Amino acid sequence: MFVLHKMATSPSSSLCSFSLFLSKPSSLPLLKPPLLSLHSPPLKRFISTASELQHDTQARRRTLLGSPYTKTSPLLSLSTAAIATESATVSHNDTAENEETEKLVLPTNDSSEKLLRIRHTCAHVMAMAVQKLYPEAKVTIGPWIENGFYYDFDMDPLTDKDLKRIKKEMDRIIGRNLPLAREDVSRDEAQRRIMAVNEPYKMEILESIKEDPITIYHIGDEWWDLCAGPHVESTGNINRKAVELESVAGAYWRGDEKKPMLQRIYGTAWENEDQLKAYLHFKEEAKRRDHRRLGQDLDLFSIQDEAGGGLVFWHPKGAVIRHIIEDSWKKTHIEHGYDLLYTPHVAKADLWKISGHLDFYRENMFDQMKIEDEQYQLRPMNCPYHILLYKRKLNSYRDFPIRVAELGTVYRYELSGSLHGLFRVRGFTQDDAHIFCLEDQIKDEIRGVLDLTEEILLQFGFRRYEVNLSTRPEKSVGDDDIWEKATSALRDALDDKGWSFQIDEGGGAFYGPKIDLKIEDALGRKWQCSTIQVDFNLPQRFDVTYVDSNTEKKRPIMIHRAVLGSLERFFGVLIEHYAGDFPLWLSPVQVRILPVTDTQLEYCKEVISKLKGNGIRAEVCQGERLPKLIRNAEKQKIPLMAVVGPKEAETQTVTIRSRFSGEVGTIEIDDFISRIKSAIERRTSL
C-alpha cells in the first residue's frame, strides 16, 4: 500500500537476573519492512527524509552528522501502523524542510494477509521448482518469515547459478497460473502418500502434527506438501517481478548440529515490483553500513581467530570511542545519584547456584574451573555481585534508595554458528545497574531511570523508541499486591514521562514486570537496548533485607536496569547508525593535518601540539600528494582536514575542509581551536 505524506514547499540486552534464562536472545534485529521516501513511483530515486542517504554527499554529511539533537525521521520504518502513518512534517534541517515527498510504506505479514499468503505460496512454488530441477532433493520445512520465505532441502550444495535456474523455473510455474487446493486426509492416508514419494523428513513432520485431519496443499496436480495454509488461490496471483531468491546457506535439520546439514534457500516476495525495489535498496544500504566491514575498513575492532570466536579486540580508534561512551555514561550516572562499582570476573560456583543461574542458564555458561579444590565460574551476570555488596552491612529504610552501577564484563557460551560481529559475542560489557528501594519509591525510581535513559540515548542521536510494558505471566513469584503495585508504578512512570507504550499482557518475567525499550536507527531498524525490570526473586533467594521504622526486617524492592545493554552491541549499532561517519565529538580522530610538502612538517607539529593540548584528537598524515591525502581522509571519514602550505605556515593559519560542510576557509589556529571546542561542547559540526 502507499501512504502519502506531504511536506510543505514553504521556506524520529538483556539484564541480569533471569531475563535470559528461559529464552535465548536473537543475534540480530529482524529486518522489518522499511518506510522509504520516494519522489514518484516506480522508484527512480531514493531520498531519505532525514537526508541521511541522499546521493548528495555534502548534504548527507551536513544533515546526518551535524547534530545528534537534530530531529530526524528515518529512512526505514520498522513495522507498526502508528509509525507507518506518522506525519513527515518534522523539521529536519534547512535543506530537507523544502522537500515534498511521498512515502511508500511496505506492508508486513501482520498488516497484509495478502502478502503473507504470497510469501507462503512462494515457498511452495520454490520447493516445487527445486524438485523439478533436482528430483533427488528431499523437502523439509518452508515457512514465511519477516521479509519473505525460505525452504530447507536435503540435497547437494547449491550455487548462485543454481538459484538463477530455480528462479526461472519458479517464474514458469507462476506463469502457468496453477490453482492451489487444500485437501483434508486421514493420518494413515498422509503416511501412505509420504511413503509413496519417499520423503523421510515429511514423515518426521507428520509425526509431530497432533491435530487431525491432516491438511495438504496441492499446486495443480503436480506437487503437494503437508501444510495448514494460508495460500493464494493460484500461482498467477503472484507477481513474479516482485519475487527474488536472495541466498543459500547451510542449516542443520531441526537446528541440531548432530543432524544432517540441509540447503536453505532464502527468498523475498512482495505485492508489487515497487515494494521489491524499495526492499532491495534497503538491503544495499544495510550492507553499506555493516559494522563488520566498517569496523575493518576504519580499523575500529576485530575478532582474532587465534584468540577465539566472539572475543572482541578494541583497536585504538575503537577504544577511543569506547572511552568517550564510558566517560559519558559514568558522568551521567554520578549526576543521577549512582555509586560506581567494580567487581570480579569470576566467583565460586555456589554463588550462581544461589542465584539460580546454574539451574536455568547453565547452557549459556562456560565450564567451571577448579581452584584449590573449589569450583569457580566466569560470571554470566553482574547482579549477584551487587547483592553481595548490598549485604555487606545492615541497611536501614533511611538509606533508600540505594543505586549502584557498573560497566561489568560478562561471559556467555555461544555456539560458533550463532556468533555475529559485535551483535552476538562470548564476552561483553553490560552497563548494568541495580536500585534497592521501598515499595512507595518504585514509581519515582522508574521515572528517574526513564529520564536517565533519555538523556544518555539523546547524547548519541537516538530519539525514537518503541516502548513495551510487560505484565505478570501465568507462572510467577511474589504476592498479587506487590505485582499490582509494581506494574502500576511502571505504568504511572511512563505516563508521567509522556511516552506512548504498548502493553504486553503476560509478557513479564516470572520474577516481576518490566519495561523494554528499543531504539530506532537511521534505517528504521529497532534494537533492544534499554530494559527496566522489577525483581521479587533474587531478593528472596539471597535473603536481602533492611530494617524498617519499627526495627523489623523487611525485604526491599530490587530494580535491574540497563540503558545501552552491551557496549559491544551498542557500538555496533552506532557504527551502522552513522555508517561509520561519526559526529565530530565522537570521532576517534577529529582533525587530520595535511602538509602540502614536507617543508611544512615543523609547523604541522606545532599545530598538532596545540590541538592535543586542548583535548582535540588530531594527527598528521604525509608522504602523498595533497589530493590523495584528502581522498584518504575522506575514506577514513575524518571530520576535519587542516591543509598546511607555505602560506599557512607563514601566517600561522590553517585552511579547513569539513566532511560535513565542505570548505570552511583559512583561519588562525586559536580561532580554529575555539571553534572546534565549541562544536564539541554543543555536539555539532564545524
- Active site residue ranges: 383, 412, 430, 432, 434, 514, 560
DSSP 42: T
Neighbours of 512 (CB within 10 A): 28
Q: In the numeric block, which cell numbers belong to residue 219?
A: 499446486
Distance, in Å, from the CA atom of 85 to the CA atom of 12, rounded to the nearest integer, reads 13
Neighbours of 99 (CB within 10 A): 18
Cβ neighbours for 15, distance < 8 A, ≥ 6 positions apart: 381, 383, 430, 432, 531, 533, 560, 561, 562
Tell me the torsion sign for CA atoms 293, 295, 298, 301.
Answer: negative
Cβ neighbours for 2, distance < 8 A, ≥ 6 positions apart: 41, 102, 103, 104, 105
Across-strand partners of 309?
none
User: Which amino acid belongs to residue 359?
Assistant: D
Distance, in Å, from the CA atom of 580 to the CA atom of 589, rounded to the nearest integer, reads 12
Burial of 397 (0-12, 13-18, 19+ CB in 10 A): middle
Dihedral angle at the C-alpha atoms of 477, 482, 483, 486, nearest 10 degrees?
Answer: -130
Q: What is the largest CA-CA distance in the chain?
A: 94
Distance, in Å, from the CA atom of 145 to the CA atom of 30, rounded to the nearest integer, reads 10
CB 648 within 8 A of CB 601: no
**Distances in whole angstroms, Cα of residue 2 to Cα of each of 15, 41, 241:** 39, 10, 18
Dihedral angle at the C-alpha atoms of 288, 293, 297, 300, nearest 10 degrees?
Answer: 120
Calculate ∠ Cα 8-462-77, nearest 5°. Answer: 55
Q: Coil, strand or helix: which one is 582?
A: coil
Order the strands of the 591-595 sheet from edge to edge: 618-620, 591-595, 640-644, 653-658, 662-668
User: Rounded to an integer, what is the distance from CA 204 to the centroid of its chain?
Assistant: 35
Distance, in Å, from the CA atom of 330 to the CA atom of 123, rounded to the nearest integer, reads 50
What is the crossing angle of helices 316-335 and 442-459, to 10°?
Answer: 150
Distance, in Å, from the CA atom of 435 to the CA atom of 447, rounded to the nearest integer, reads 13
Cβ neighbours for 547, distance < 8 A, ≥ 6 positions apart: 394, 395, 396, 397, 553, 554
